[in-house]
Amino acid sequence: MTVLHLEDSDVDHLLVTRAAQACGISGRFIRVEDKSSLLAALSRYDADVVLMDFNLPGFSAMEAWADIRQLDAPPPCVIVSGAIGEAAAVEAIQAGIGDFLHKDNLQEIGRVIMRTLKLHAAQAERKKTAQDLAESEKRITQLARHLQTALEKERAAISREIHDEIGGALAAIKLDLAWIGRHSAQAETLQRVDSAQDMVRQALVATQRIMQNTRPAILDQGLGPSVQWLCEAHSRRTGASVKLSCELRAENLPDAVRLGAYRTVQETLTNAGKYAPNSSVNVEMSDAGGVLTVEITDTGPGFESHRLEETPGFGLKGLNERAHAIGGWLDVSSQPGRGTRITLTAPLLMPALNPPLESNQ
């Protein structure tokens, strides 16, 4: 063990060294007399612990500690002094010094040093664990954002395939059926043509719906019209009342913000249709102050907030990641019997976080 001892008295250094050795602390005991010598010794030796007198000529242990704690890996420090009051000792502990010991109790120095070393090791382990956890969370967040981006690209590709291949094929079939109907006089044939045309019309409607859900082309017309389309579709599907209040002054919102807001409304309306199908819904949008705010409230049964952590689904979790990806945040507020409110807040001046959307055309 390497022990640095900041002490201006040879006698006191000798007493401290002998007391530590008597307690089973073996190794190098290096005395330094001033702050510059202490810092030089810290750069030269890999000190396990620093023992410091409290009052030294021209400076104090607290001043020395202020410099020590600036190091990348500061060693634990213990004040060993005969001139420190209780208030000063408490202040030192609060500042991060490991422990203190009065020179009249040097027989306890071994126990104090070992306790300080154990505490320092535990703190270092907690710090490393926290850093590892933060790094893990950062990677998970990056992965989630990458998956969201990949998902939107895949949705755009699927939407293009549906538009170009399936949509084109259905349109061709519709034209052929119309030709057959014009060139046939048989009642049975005409009846089957009408039936086939009806199925084609239904398939085209389904195709349009799937395209809107995978990559909404209507977003190219702006956030307001696309959200209005969502609200009208939800009202037709569920029969519930949906009120939209749109106060968007900016015509061209960043693409990623537009898509994030659209998906937030889409997912929230889907949840409302699933868990509160008979409730009325209110959607409010504003871009006042350079910040987009989208608030969706329903009058459904609501839920306990802790259920958000217990649910295995990723709907709201995904929306939360979307919000973070555009520099915003998502707030979910609900109480049993009082409905649910979901609010997306996102800044509009973050071009680095707003990559362009792919087009269906």
Q: pLDDT tens for residues 98-137? A: 888 888 889 999 999 999 999 999 988 998 999 899 898 8
pLDDT of residue 357: 47
Taking residues 23-42, what's their average pLDDT?
A: 88
**Above 90 in pLDDT, residue 294?**
yes
**What span, in angstroms and rounded, lies between the C-alpha atoms of 251 and 292?**
12
Is the torsion defined by CA of 107, 111, 114, 115 positive or negative?
negative
pLDDT of residue 344: 95
Percent of the chain whose predicted confidence (pLDDT) is above 70 = 91
Name which of 250-259, 295-304, 314-323 the model is least confident about: 314-323
pLDDT of residue 219: 74
Work out the number of other CB atoms within 10 angstroms of the CB of residue 142: 11
pLDDT of residue 308: 64
5/141: higher pLDDT: 5
Of 13, 324, 334, nearest in space to 148 by CA? 324
Taking residues 221-244, what's their average pLDDT?
A: 89
Of 12, 62, 4, nearest in space to 37 by CA? 4
Q: How confident is the model at residue 352 (pLDDT cuts 50, 70, 90)?
A: very low
**What span, in angstroms and rounded, lies between the C-alpha atoms of 162 and 169?**
10
CA angle 120-123-128, nearest 5°? Answer: 125
Average pLDDT, the chain: 84
The residues of the chain that CATH labels 3.30.565.10 are: 217-361
Taking residues 9-18, what's their average pLDDT?
A: 91
Of 119, 2, 122, 123, nearest in space to 51 by CA? 2
The owner of tokens 């090791």 is: 121
Q: What is the pLDDT of residues 259-283, one digit of tens each?
A: 889 989 998 998 888 888 888 999 9
pTM above 0.75, yes or no: no
**Above 90 in pLDDT, residue 244?**
yes
- Is it true that domain 217-361 has CATH number 3.30.565.10? yes
The residues of the chain that CATH labels 3.40.50.2300 are: 2-128
Of 336, 347, 208, 323, nearest in space to 268 by CA? 323
Q: Are 109 and 20 in contact (CB under 8 A)?
A: yes
pLDDT of residue 105: 86
Q: What is the pLDDT of residues 142-197, one digit of tens each?
A: 777 777 677 777 777 787 788 778 888 888 998 999 999 888 888 888 899 899 99
Looking at CATH, the fold of the domain delimited by 2-128 is given as: Rossmann fold (3.40.50)
